[in-house]
Each structure stands twice: as structure tokens, then as C-alpha cells.
Amino acid sequence: MDEVLVACKQCGNLLDVAYDWDRLAVPDSLDTFEQRWSRRNDPQCFSGVWRFHDLLPFAPRRQCVTVGEGQTLLHRSDNVARFAGLNPGRLHLQYEGMNPSGSFKDNGMSAAFTHARLVGAKRAACASTGNTSASLALYCSVTQLMKAVIFVGSGKIAYGKLSQALDFGALTVQIAGDFDDAMARVKEVSSRLGIYLVNSVNPFRLEGQKTIMFRVLEGLAWQVPDWIVVPGGNLGNSSAFGKAFLELKQLGLIDRVPRLAVINAEGAATLYDLVERRGLRWNGGQPDKSIVEKYYREMDQQKRRASTIASAIEINRPVNLNKCLRALEVCNGVVRPVSDQQIMDAKAQVGAGGLGCEPASAASVAGTKLLVAEGIIDPDESVVCILTGHQLKDPTATVAYHTADQDKFDEVLAVRGVHQATFANRAISVSNDLDEIIKAIELHS
């Protein structure tokens, strides 16, 4: 706890937070957590992360850092259910875009900042496809506990996210390369300069992200759904979700775990390729390393680099791969890839419901539709899709989908293999003339 480590000193693998539950006072029923909400004038109870402190008790309660994260919504959506082929009432969307920085990352950031404060860190760094960096920058500027240094791939992050980091005052380092290049560099730089690393190789991040599942259960009156569907990038979320259910089950707070579906973008489908096509498994904690090494060797030889409109999950080498394998094992999971076309259509359907999301998030809805079509999810099963980031994170993708300007559409979407915008809501162009404007409104409304 008083060291800054992102890998095991002996084997170099990821570290995991393990609790000695026998020495901790854990509530014997989940609705204890609901009662905390009635004390929400206390920031520790207001936080949707620290309200569940008993389930991530790695730091004293009063040391926990919060900026008011985790006030998120579980929303029943029958329209999106219909789109995905599910029966009414069977689909819920978990809106993590409602977090202070507009993505689920704030759940983990509050936990990483808590540990960083315990060890007295003064600077924190991350590599990012944009949301981790926005979250880090926000926590630094709100708490003033540390200075933010962020590494991003040049041209690889959506404008909403970049604008946050700049506005919040983070030192922003644009690397000529992609996320994986930035990730490799930030690890080197952090260890050389003694900067606290907040990427999800940091095990405390994942502790915070477990609480997304606690809030989903709370939103369902503590009923366990049949499926959790989540986009997969660096695989921090999926890993954290698996750990959350494993621990709840061990503690006797739930009697069954949901199934987990991790959805890759087709252009960034490392997990899918490894698990579903090459048979990589958790294997009691000893995944076959040679399968992974061979895959990455081929990737390098063929100069294959991740490419998707869902820039948040445009990742070649997911750092939490091993932990995600554990989650897939615990939750009898499946992995599927979806195309950018499927992602953009699903995103438009989510947006039409009024609480929109960014492209990567919509992979969860596109993946659900695919799994229903494959007969793996039954139309009557209950499904929760995690909408990881806010609609305004990536306005370029949204405007391009809805535009009537073919050049703009082609520039952003056709290059990604998106050729149709079935659910587009196109603006109408009209001359600056009252009669023409009225005629157009009458015609279209």
C-alpha cells in the first residue's frame, strides 16, 4: 500500500488488490448501501464510488478522494431493446457519461487518487485515447493534489476529450504514434521521473470501477441481470466487473453472477481474436503466453495497427488482458467484434433516446444486437449495456453521421467502411427567407 508499483517485482505481471475479508466488517446485505444515500450531505456518502467503501476498503474512509463521481443513471430503454431484438423491459442502459468528466473513468480515478494521496505523489501521468486523460486532468484541477501529465497519440483523440485536458490545464504531450506507443512511453517516463501512473495497470483504478456494477445492481433493486455487455479497449472495465462479481459472490451478497459480453471494434479486435479464435483462456491463472506472444509478433510483422471510428477503444495490446480472461472465466463470458457501421447505427439509436453516447460506448448495444441475432442472448433475458462515455465527447463522429454533406460523411465515416446512415437526422438547408423557412417546416414536421 505504501509503494507505487504497477507490476509484480518478481514476475512483471499486473498486480491485483486482494482483501482479507475475514478481518473486515462487510455489511451482510446490499441494501445497507442504499441507506448511505440518505446521508448524502457527507461527500463520502454522496460519491457513487465511496458509498460502497466496504467493498473496496483499501484506504481509510476519510482519506478517500472524491469530486462527486458516480451519480449515474440506469435507464430502461424499450426503443433500444427493440432495435437490439430484446423484449420490452429487458434492456437497461447504464449512463456512465453522467460522471463529472463525462466518462466512466472517474470511478477509477477517485480510487487511484486516493492511493496517490496515501503515498504523497505530486505528479500523475497517463497515456490515453482521451477519457482517462480528461478524468486525470479534472481530478488534478479540482483537488489540486497533483499535476497532470498526459500522453496522447497525435490525431488519435476526439476533440471533446482533448479540449477537456487543455481546459483543465494538464501538461499535454502529443506523441507521433498511437495509444500503444503512448502507453509504452508513459511507463518509461513515469518510472524514470517517479511520476504516479494512473492507467488501468494501476490496480486501484479497477477497484473504483467495480462500483459501476454495484450501482447497476442497486438500480435493479439488487436483482442480478442475465447479461452485462461492455465495450472492450484496454479491458480495465471488464476486468473490474469480473472482480466485483467474484467478490460479491464470495461474500455471499449475491447468489449468482451475470454473464459478461465484451465487445471489440472489428478494427481493434485483439481480445476477440485471442479468446474466440485462438482459444486463449484464464487457465487457473496461467494463460498460455505463447498464444499471445505469437499474435503480437504477427501483428508487428504484418504492421497491423488498430483502426476504428470508436477511437476510445482503438488499442492493439490491451494491458489488462490477463485480468479480463479471469473475468470471462468467472462470468462465463463471450467476446464479439462489431463493425464501425454497426457501432454508428447503434449510437444513433441510443442518441435518439435522448441520452446519447460516444461511438465506443455504442459497441455494447451493437454487440447485444449481434448476440441476440446469434441466439446467444435470448430476447427475454435481462441485459445491461454500459454506456461508457458521453455523446459530446466526439461530436465529429455524430455530425458526420447525420450530415447531408457527402464529402464530410466520406471524410470521417466512409474511410472507416461506414456507407449508410440509416438513422440519420439530416438538417434541412433553406434560404434566409421567411416563406421558404415556413414552407420547409410545414413539409418536414
Residues present in the chain in total: 445
End-to-end CA, the chain? 61
* Distance separating alpha carbons of residues 397 and 340, to the nearest angstrom: 11
> Which residues fall within 8 angstroms of residue 412, CB to CB, at 6 or more apart?
309, 396, 397, 400
56 burial (CB, 10 Å; 0-12 / 13-18 / 19+) is buried
Residue labelled with grid coordinates 457501432: 343
**CB of residue 342 vs ligand F0G: minimum separation in angstroms?**
16
Cell of 38: 440518505
Q: Could you tell me the CA-to-CA distances from 120 to 95, 146, 194 in Å, in that order? A: 33, 9, 12
What is the C-alpha to C-alpha distance for residues 307 and 156, in angstroms, rounded to an integer? Answer: 10
φ, ψ (nearest 5 deg) of residue 317: -120, 90
Which value, in Å, is the radius of gyration of the alpha carbons in the chain?
22
Question: CA dihedral in degrees (60, 66, 71, 72; nearest 10)?
Answer: -90
35-to-31, 32, 52, 346 alpha-carbon distances in Å: 7, 5, 11, 36
Nearer to ligand F0G, 105 or 187 (CB): 105
Q: Which residues of 270-296 are buried (b: 16+ CB within 10 A; e: fewer)?
A: bbbbbbeeeebebeeeebeeebbeebe
Enumerate binding residues for ligand F0G (CB under 6 A): 103, 105, 128-132, 231-238, 312-313, 358, 360-361, 388-389
Asked if residues 78 and 93 have their Cβ atoms less than 8 Å apart, the reply is no
Is the C-alpha dihedral spanning 50, 53, 55, 58 positive or negative?
A: positive
